Structure 1
């Protein structure tokens, strides 16, 4: 029995010692280690984020209409708030001239619009539709049409969606004076940032030249067809 009592006492002493011993403290993380861990986590998060386009400006530029491209399938309001489909307009005439101006009823824009009005009958004779274009509201366009006695429509593009596609958007909110000529729905002439006089004069001359070239090409095809018939459809 004495041995049992001694064993019990020893166990009690050991248990008491364990209770009195302070808990083992974890080693503190140094500031350098914390900084390194934070940096690693940040780098990991950055690597997981989607990467932006490598060349955003090139991407935007590629969306711009270039010579040879089809006219965009967009619909805008004219001065009467009627919807105008560019695709439909391009199908109705052989040539389509769209000229852009910064702001309705301002001196330079008035000069440009009046010039196209002056040449309008000549352009019509060449199967050419003419449309003015700006970021003005339909109401402002109507006032412009009325004051200048314009016989052709003016398109309203307040969001500058078409203006941007055509390459005439000017940051932050402006419009570059420009014009474009479409032949059978395809962009053939593109002139950006030009003067009112150049826009008016060159547009008419370019349409006349394109009509002449088209006539020459058709004449050559007719002659080729005649020669083919005379030779019985045989080629040399």
Structure 2
């Protein structure tokens, strides 16, 4: 009888080794700031602030962001909308359009404060020569409320309108907005073509002086009339002189003729 061979069972696979627990990497502790590091950072921050402040003149916007004298600006949409102290809306383009020669905007930080009162009164006292005779329309411009500017105008008896620009859109456009907020005292003059004739910060007296120089430089209506009058007067004087010379010449001819006639009579 044949012998039956039994097959051996395959040995069971060895058990897998237990998974190792993931070790969390320890975060490197941030180095502690030394006193010297803190001082260095403070100095750097101060230098940065000083450098930023140095880019402003009298608190006004950087020169690169504002129109300069001689520039021709596009008036349409320039500076957005502002309101008169009456509450009516307007724009710089509309103000220039209805003016005879252009617009003068002088800015002031806050209505009814000493410096601003002095400034508006200086423009009030020279209004005839700076506006009426020049053909330019003058406006005060600030971020004050309608109520504040109405009181200001009535109390100081101002002959010109005050413009309210609470968002400082126009003030910023002409480069007289302080950083981060506030209004720099200054003046901006633009003619009918959009050419900038003046754009700078200044004192109450300084802003009036700038406008006076612009008006005197252009001559104004009265200056033009005076010039035309001088030309006419000179022309009349020349005509009188010419007429006198003609009369003298005629008289000389007649006198010579009389002398010749007398000589002829003597000969006879």
Q: Does the 8 Å contact 2:84/2:164 carry over to 1?
A: yes
Cα RMSD for the two superposed structures: 3.0
Q: Does the 8 Å contact 1:102/1:177 carry over to 2?
A: yes
Provide the residue aligned with 1:14 in structure 2.
12
Q: For each residue in 1:93-130, what CA deviation from the matched residue of structure 2 results, as whole angstroms up to 9, or x when unmatched?
A: 21211000111011111111011111112222211100
Taking structure 2 as the reference length, the TM-score comes to: 0.60
User: Following superposition, which runs of at least 4 residues in structure 1 exceed 6 angstroms of deviation?
Assistant: none
Identify if the C-alpha distance between structure 1 residues 73 and 27 changes in structure 2 by more than 3 Å, giving closer, same or farther.
closer
Provide the residue aligned with 1:191 in structure 2.
200
Identify if the C-alpha distance between structure 1 residues 61 and 14 changes in structure 2 by more than 3 Å, giving closer, same or farther.
farther
Structure 2 unpaired stretches of 5+: 28-51, 56-60, 229-268
Provide the residue aligned with 1:165 in structure 2.
173
Task: Identify which of 176, 181, 184 aligns with 2:189.
Answer: 181
Identify if the C-alpha distance between structure 1 residues 111 and 60 changes in structure 2 by more than 3 Å, giving closer, same or farther.
closer
Matched, 1:144 2:144: no
- Number of aligned residues: 184
SS at match of 1:174: coil
| Distance in 1 of aligned mates of 2:62 and 2:206 | 28
Provide the residue aligned with 2:105 in structure 1.
98
Task: Identify which of 75, 83, 94 aligns with 1:77.
Answer: 83
SS at match of 1:155: strand
Q: How does 1:1-236 map to 2 (within 5 A)?
A: 1-4=4-7, 6=8, 8=9, 11=10, 13-15=11-13, 17=14, 20-23=15-18, 25=20, 62-67=64-69, 68-70=71-73, 71=75, 72=78, 74-93=80-99, 94-122=101-129, 123-184=131-192, 185-192=194-201, 194-211=202-219
| Distance in 1 of aligned mates of 2:156 and 2:170 | 24
Provide the residue aligned with 1:40 in structure 2.
none
Q: Does the 8 Å contact 1:95/1:207 carry over to 2?
A: no
Taking structure 1 as the reference length, the TM-score comes to: 0.68
Rg (Cα) greater in structure: 2
